[in-house]
Amino acid sequence: MWDQISSNKFKSAALIAVFIALVALIGFVFGQVTDWGYLGLVLALGVALAMSVGSYWFSDKIVLSMSRARPVDRELEPYLVNTVEGLSIAAGLPVPRAYVIDDPAPNAFATGRNPENAAVAVTSGLLAMMNRQELEGVLAHELAHIKNYDTLLQTLAAVLAGSVTLISEWMLRSFWWGGRDRNRDSGQLGAILMVVAIVLALLSPLAATLIQMAISRRREFLADASAAMLTRYPPGLASALRKIGGDQNQLRAANKATESLYIVNPLRARGRGMNSLFNTHPPLAERIALLEAM
C-alpha cells in the first residue's frame, strides 16, 4: 500500500507539472504569433492563476449546489454523522460537513479546498444499500481524498484544462486579427511558427483533457489505498464498489463537470481501448482486484 501511495503521489505531481508547462507553452507561442511577445506567456499564466484562485474559494459551494445536496439531518441519519466523526478522528482530520443527495443511485464525493473547509456528500441510495463495513469503506475513501488534498488537486486540474481551452481559443481567433500577416512578413521561420501554433491550438484542449482524466484516475487509486489503511479492512470498500458498479440507477444530479469527484463514475463509461483515455475513473474490476490483494 505504501508503494501504491508513493507511486500515485509522484505521478500526480508529474502530471500537474506537465499541465503547467503546457499552459506556459501555449502562452509563449501565442505571444510569438501575435504582437504580444512575452506578454502572451504572462497572460496565460495570469489567466490560469486567476481562475485557480476563484475555484479555490468557491468550488465546494458550487459543487454542492449543482448536486442538490442538503446538510445531513442528525435525527434522520445519525449513523452517517457518527461514522463520519469516528473516521475523521481516526484519520486525524477535522470533521467535514456532511451532506445527503436524495437520489436512489448509490454514490458519494468529497469537496473543499482543504481539510478545514471540506465536505462529504453521499446519496440516500448509498445509505440504504451499504452495510456498516461498506459505508465505512466509502467514507474512508472520501476522507482520504480530503487528507491527500485530492479535492484541491482535481479542482486545479479542471481549471488548468479550462485555461488551456480558453487560451487556445484566443490563439485561433487572433490569427484572424493580424497574426497571419505578421508571420507571413517574417519569412519561412514565421510560417513554420504559425503552423506550430495552429496545431498546438487545435490539439492542446485534447491533451489537457487527457491529462486531467489521468490525474483523476491516479487519485482514485491513491484514495482506495489510503482508505484501506484507515479502515484496516480493504474488503469493505471492495464490496461497496462492487455494489455501486452493479446498480442500474442513474444519478440525476451528476454531470460532466462533477463526474470526476464521485467514488464511481455516475455517468456511463466511455468504453475501452482509446476511449478509456477519457474515463475519469480506473476500471472498477482493477480497483476491486487491488483492494482484495491488500
Indicate the burial class of 87 (C-beta count within 10 angstroms; 0-12, 13-18, 19 or more).
Answer: buried
Which amino acid is it at 253?
A: A
Q: Which residues are catalytic?
A: 142
Q: What is the maximal distance between C-alpha atoms in the chain?
A: 74
Written as nine digits, the cell of 121 is: 456528500
Indicate the burial class of 215 (C-beta count within 10 angstroms; 0-12, 13-18, 19 or more).
Answer: buried
Determine which helix (DSSP H) or strand (DSSP E) holds 98, and give its type and residue range. Answer: strand 97-101
Instruction: Quote the CA–CA distance of 277 and 256 in Å, as a whole number.
Output: 15
> Which residue carries 491527500 as its cell?
148
Written as nine digits, the cell of 8 is: 500515485
Given a contact cutoff of 8 angstroms between Cβ atoms, the answer to whether 219 and 12 are in contact is yes
Q: Which of 13, 43, 15, 41 is nearest to 28 (CA)?
A: 41
Instruction: Quote the CA–CA distance of 113 and 145 in Å, as a whole number.
Output: 11
